[in-house]
């Protein structure tokens, strides 16, 4: 799954229902709903996210088929602000240390539990209008690990819901589309009709109701989300300390994700850590978080011992198919399908017969056949792991559409080589740039553990 979406059909739980009561009467007392967050502020955050409904996927005949599925996710972490801005156009940053990050996924065919590894619990988070990221501080997350913790209700973003002015009971305000997009993990918002209303105040906590609809895209797929929720703004702490959301989403199938017809419930509690208490993270870790570039925060790790390689890639690449010795990826940029990539594992070549650049180019020419117009480049180099890399760039046409193909081979003595082919329309090359080279240059060929395990042990004499 591309996002942890999934398992309770009861949409309006008792914790949310009070916020959906009749319109409150207009009050006279005013409450300043301005976040008072600043660098160094910290909180203990707990989140539960339960979703249930159906995946929409094409069947063998290309028609949409519905598959029941569910997920229950639980998160608990300390979060310390590294930089925080109320303006959604400016990216905020935080450090998180997860004590719990687990999700149970179920479908008609199987069930599984995913959990963040114990040595990958310190996470750097970044949130801006066009700049979102979650990643390990010391090593990169995989796509599954990223999806596990990238759930709606980002605690780094929720305080941007506040209007930054005084409001009385019964007054309301409309939400910024960028804030709502970040809160629900949307890549684009076309229509945002989400509004919050002050409903009361108790024990220094202003009670606020949120409701409305939002239309846009998630990872290139059109979606509609109906929102009902409630949250509390603590006047003394200057932050939102509790949020409950009920969501109903209908998402069409996209280039890299299935469709969805689901309902969900999210509950988030942020318990502020006293300003006089020790901070969860020291200055050294804070500086490491601050130094991470946008590219580093968006870079993910892929590893497949059975196919014999691992590599890094930016989050715009999505795995769309996996077989025994073959995998496929697609690239989305601003919701547009930009390129397709195939990676295939080959048998080990004899040490005295390595693939030459001339031979590799001849294989490319043969495979493209009548589609080929010209070979633009053929080069050889060593990547970061010291592996031999061969590259051939060719142009041609498919059904009168000008295309470019990029073929690569990564090889090392005694290891199974991998071939990588990338296909893109020539009209998209400026946007694509060299997005494939990170895969090639970071690829490391590794042993298949099953093959190693199959070797007989030496006999002691």
What are the E-state strand segments in 203-238? 205-218, 221-234
pLDDT value for 251: 96
From first CA to last CA, the distance across the chain in angstroms is 52
Could you give the percent of the chain with pLDDT greater than 70? 91
Whole-angstrom distance, CA of residue 422 vs CA of residue 330: 9
pLDDT band at 449 (very low <50, low <70, confident <90, very high): low
Question: Phi, psi (5° rounding) for residue 333?
Answer: -130, 120
Give the pTM: 0.88
Strand order in the sheet with 418-425: 317-322, 326-333, 336-345, 418-425, 401-411, 388-398, 372-382
Residue 383: name the closest of 297, 315, 291, 309 by CA: 309
Give the Cα separation of 312 and 142 in Å (integer): 9
CA distance 95 to 418: 37
pLDDT digits (tens, 9 = 90+) for 337-347: 999 999 999 99
Q: How far is C-alpha 323 from the chain's CA centre?
A: 23
Return the minimum-mean-pLDDT range out of 7-16, 245-254, 365-374.
Answer: 7-16
pLDDT of residue 194: 97
Question: Shortest CA distance to 305 belongs to which of 414, 446, 420?
Answer: 446
In which band, very low, low, confident or very high, does the pLDDT at 65 lie, cut at 50, 70 and 90? confident
Average pLDDT for the chain? 90
pLDDT class of 13 with cuts at 50, 70, 90: very low
Distance CA(320)–CA(328), nearest Å, equals 6
67 neighbors 54 (Cβ within 8 angstroms):
yes
**Residue-level pLDDT at 27:** 62
**Confidence grade of residue 90 (pLDDT, cut at 50, 70, 90):** confident
Calculate the dihedral angle through the C-alpha atoms of 308, 312, 314, 318, rounding to the nearest 10 degrees. 20
Q: Which residues 6+ apart lie within 8 Å of 449 measured at CB?
A: 305, 306
> Residue 34 in contact with residue 235, Cβ under 8 Å?
no
Q: Within 10 Å of residue 70's Cβ, how many Cβ atoms?
A: 20
Distance separating alpha carbons of residues 162 and 15, to the nearest angstrom: 21
Give tens-digit pLDDT for 119-169: 999 999 998 767 788 999 989 999 999 999 999 999 999 999 999 999 999
Q: What does the buried/exposed string (b/e) look like for 282-321 if buried means 16 or more CB atoms within 10 Å of the residue's CB?
A: eeebbebbeebeeeebbbbbbebeebbbbbbbbbbbbbee
Rg (CA), the chain: 25
For residue 39 the two structure tokens come to 């660098």
- Per cent of the chain over pLDDT 90 is 79
Cα–Cα distance measured from residue 248 to residue 253, given in angstroms and rounded to the nearest whole number = 16
Quote the CA–CA distance of 51 and 161 in Å, as a whole number. Answer: 23
Whole-number pLDDT of residue 24 = 62
Rounded CA separation 36/272 (Å): 12
The stretch 351-356 carries a mean pLDDT of 91
Is residue 453's pLDDT more than 70?
Answer: no
Q: Are 436 and 425 in contact (CB under 8 A)?
A: no
d(CA 244, CA 267): 5
Phi, psi of 449 (to 5 degrees): -60, -30
The predicted-structure confidence for 317-333, as pLDDT tens digits, reads as follows: 999 999 999 999 999 99
Q: Which of 10-24, 84-98, 354-368, 410-424 has the lowest mean pLDDT?
A: 10-24
Q: What is the largest CA-CA distance in the chain?
A: 93
3-class secondary structure, 359: helix
Distance (Å, rounded) from C-alpha 326 to C-alpha 342? 7
């Amino acid at each position: 799954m591309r996002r942890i979406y999934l398992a309770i059909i009861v949409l309006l739980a008792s914790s949310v229902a009070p916020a959906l009561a009749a319109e409150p009467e207009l009050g006279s007392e005013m409450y300043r709903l301005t976040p008072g967050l600043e660098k160094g502020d910290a909180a203990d955050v707990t989140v539960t996210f339960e979703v249930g409904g159906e995946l929409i996927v094409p069947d063998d005949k290309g028609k949409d088929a519905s598959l029941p599925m569910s997920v229950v996710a639980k998160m608990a972490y300390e979060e310390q602000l590294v930089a925080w801005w109320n303006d959604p156009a400016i990216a905020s940053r935080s450090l998180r240390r997860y004590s719990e990050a687990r999700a149970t996924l179920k479908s008609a065919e199987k069930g599984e539990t995913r959990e963040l590894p114990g040595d990958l619990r310190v996470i750097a988070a970044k949130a801006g209008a066009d700049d979102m990221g979650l990643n390990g501080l010391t090593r990169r997350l995989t796509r599954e690990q990223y999806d596990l913790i990238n759930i709606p209700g980002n605690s780094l973003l929720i305080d941007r819901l506040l209007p930054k002015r005084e409001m009385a009971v019964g007054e309301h305000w409309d939400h910024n589309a960028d804030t709502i997009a970040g809160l629900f993990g949307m890549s684009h918002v076309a229509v945002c009709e989400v509004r919050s209303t002050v409903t009361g105040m108790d024990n220094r906590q202003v009670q606020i109701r949120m409701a409305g609809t939002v239309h846009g895209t998630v990872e290139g797929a059109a979606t509609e989300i109906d929102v009902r929720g409630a949250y509390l703004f603590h006047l003394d702490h200057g932050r939102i300390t509790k949020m409950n959301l009920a969501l109903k989403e209908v998402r069409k199938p996209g280039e890299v994700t299935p469709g969805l017809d689901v309902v969900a419930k999210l509950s988030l509690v942020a318990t502020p850590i006293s300003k006089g208490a020790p901070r969860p993270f020291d200055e050294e870790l804070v500086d490491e978080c601050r130094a991470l570039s946008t590219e580093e925060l968006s870079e993910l790790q892929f590893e497949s011992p059975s196919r014999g390689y691992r590599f890094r890639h930016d989050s715009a690449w999505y795995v769309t198919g996996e077989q025994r010795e073959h995998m496929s990826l697609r690239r989305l940029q601003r919701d547009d399908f930009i390129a397709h990539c195939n990676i295939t594992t080959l048998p080990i070549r004899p040490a005295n017969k390595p693939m030459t650049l001339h031979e590799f180019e001849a294989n490319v020419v043969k495979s493209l056949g009548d589609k080929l117009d010209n070979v633009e480049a053929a080069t050889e180099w060593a990547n970061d792991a010291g592996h031999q890399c061969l590259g051939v760039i060719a142009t041609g046409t498919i059904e009168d559409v000008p295309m470019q193909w990029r073929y690569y081979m990564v090889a090392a003595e005694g290891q199974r080589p991998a071939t990588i082919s990338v296909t893109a329309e020539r009209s998209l090359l400026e946007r694509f740039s060299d997005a494939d080279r990170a895969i090639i240059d970071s690829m490391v060929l590794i042993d298949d553990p099953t093959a190693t395990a199959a070797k007989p042990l030496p006999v002691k004499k």
